[in-house]
Chains A and B, each alone.
Chain A
Amino acid sequence: MSALSLKPHLYDVEAIRQDFPILAREVHGRPLVYLDNAASAQKPKQVMNKITDFVTTEYSNVHRGVHFLSAAATDRYEAARGRVKTFLNAAHEDEIVWTRGGTEAINLVASSFLSPRLEPGDEIVLSVMEHHSNIVPWHFLRERQGASLRWVDVSDDGELDPEDVARAIGPNTKFVAITHMSNVLGTHTALKEIVRIAHERGIPVLADGCQASVHGKVDVRDLDVDFYVMTGHKLYGPTGIGVLYARKAHLKAMRPYQGGGEMIREVTKANVTYAEPPMRFEAGTPPIIEAVGLAAALDYLDSIGRDAAAAHENALARRAEAKLKALNGVRLIGEARDKGPIVSFETIGIHAHDLATILDREGVAVRAGHHCAQVLMERCGVVATARASFGLYNTEAEVDALVDAVQIARKVFA
């Protein structure tokens, strides 16, 4: 743990902002106020420099050459896997599988773990606040194998009661797939309790950690979760890389996902045998540069201090909520007690896309739409929301710029 994370009052956001060159740019003649971090975070110089250094001095394909650069690149690439293991406090490096992103990680579990175990009528339990990436792969199993989806509702505040997960699990339940933090409501789910409930009934759990892993420490052993998913680009790292953490015993029992190079032991005309995990699930040339970049991003995040960053971000989000609520005609969507730095809201009489357009002209970048969570939108009775999501480099002045811009939009539509 860095000294900073022990002393949150020393959190120096202005120094942090210097690490992100893009934050200095203007948009439509206004300083950029980037509040779309839940969609993707900006990249610090430390990540860009690491990628440049690696590509300049050590790049090659991995695991297949005997030459110097291949060995160097393989070392870097596998060290990045070790970095993720530490980040998640996993027990073994070979429990870390590289994927293209969070989406592919969930598809991999659906296809290689659950699909072969499913009988028609088997049930998959998931919450109504899942991102489409944690819904559609399970719909595939419903369409193709006759599985049925059991939906766990959330309260009007956006809270998920673990007891409702217990009630949703029946004799035919084979799997629980649940977010660790909603990308729309910001709700932090009681994942450890949900896993305990599911395990009592012998049901494995996948957690979508694409948001939660960015905002606070994650310990997969303490959570006791079976599968945990992250994506690189939200963690201040590159696009095109994600992580599947899976328990060793699960990985060993899982069939391959895609076929190709690197994932095999031996290929003959008559037969093929497969490599051990994690290589079994990493067909083809992997995201080598991206893995090195992601490791640098995790180093960066830990140098700031994950708890310190989360405390800073949450304080900004609570400030934004208080100020938006004080405006007439703004409704917050998601007011869970345990909430991360994601603020979804509706401005009465202004569609989210119109609002986002006006905010953009003020330099304020927010997301508007259904946020790939149409099931949740239906539950909340809205078509679209605006969403401000905070990162470790955002400031109180940016919260105020958001609120000022919302007031300008209200004048346009007055």
Chain B
Amino acid sequence: MDAHLRELYQEIILDHSRHPRHFGTLTDANHRADGFNPLCGDKVSIYLKVNGEDRIEDIAFEGKGCAISVASASLMSEMLKGRKVDEAETLMGGFLELVKGGEGADLSDDDREYLEAMAGVSAFPMRVKSATLAWHAMKSALEGDGTAKTE
């Protein structure tokens, strides 16, 4: 197995794909959106509870997809819980940079270290959409338009 593949399917990714965190629905969500990748049929639904101070109090997701898309959603959910809405957007920007081979210069060192588990995707351009699906859905949920596609 080559090094790129080992980096893509590193232990933390496999662990999150097998045991996704915050998997399920959120009954008191006030934001939600569905993400759909029409090319491969991957689906994800994101549930967010945002409080009066624009902080993401709780988050959940459910869906079906490949290891990359599930792990990405799971890592995202861990990372966003307790963050402010405007931080979520910064994190998303940094994440999109990382999975496309960029530096993620706007990320704090801790955040970058955490998200770098997904950076192996950058060597697999055909799989970047799997990694970004949940993030796009999260953005749609915050913006309130309900659906996200990776197209």
Contact = CB atoms under 8 A, between A and B. Distances in A.
B19 interface: no
B23 to A, nearest CB: 16
Contact of A377 (B41, B42, B130): B41
A368 B40 contact: yes
B8 interface: yes
A370 B66 CA distance: 13
Given A28-B2, A353-B127, A370-B41, 6 more contacts: A353-B66, A354-B67, A361-B1, A384-B40, A413-B9, A413-B67
A351 B65 CA distance: 7
A353 B9 CA distance: 13
User: 5 smallest A-B Cβ distances: which pairs?
Assistant: A351-B66, A353-B66, A369-B40, A354-B67, A370-B41
A383 B68 contact: no
Nearest to A355: B66
B14 interface: yes
B64 A383 contact: yes
Contacts of B105: none
Interface string B4-16: 1100110000100
A145 interface: no
Nearest to B13: A354
B124 interface: yes
The size class of the interface chain B forms with chain A is 20 to 34
A357 interface: yes
A357 B64 CA distance: 18
Contacts of A370: 40-41
Given A369-B40, A408-B1, A357 B65 contact: no
A357 B125 CA distance: 11
Contacts, number: 52
Interface of A: 28-29, 350-354, 357-358, 361, 368-370, 374, 377, 383-384, 408, 411-413
B66 A369 contact: no
Contact of B41 (A361, A384, A411, A412): A384
B28 to A, nearest CB: 29
B130 A353 contact: yes
B41 A358 contact: no
B13 to A, nearest CB: 10
A413 B39 contact: no
Contacts of B41: 369-370, 374, 377, 383-384
28 contacts: A28-B2, A29-B2, A351-B65, A351-B67, A352-B66, A353-B40, A353-B66, A353-B127, A353-B130, A354-B9, A354-B66, A354-B67, A354-B68, A357-B127, A358-B5, A361-B1, A361-B4, A368-B40, A369-B39, A369-B40, A369-B41, A370-B40, A370-B41, A383-B65, A408-B1, A412-B5, A412-B14, A413-B9
Contacts of B40: 353, 368-370, 384
Contacts of B130: 353
A196 to B, nearest CB: 36
A223 B131 CA distance: 48
Interface in B51-76: 64-68
B5 A361 contact: yes
B11 to A, nearest CB: 11
Nearest to A370: B41
Contacts of A350: 67
Contacts of A29: 2
Contacts of A377: 41
Given A357-B127, A369-B41, A412 B64 contact: no
A374 B41 CA distance: 9
Nearest to B130: A353
Contacts of B65: 351, 383
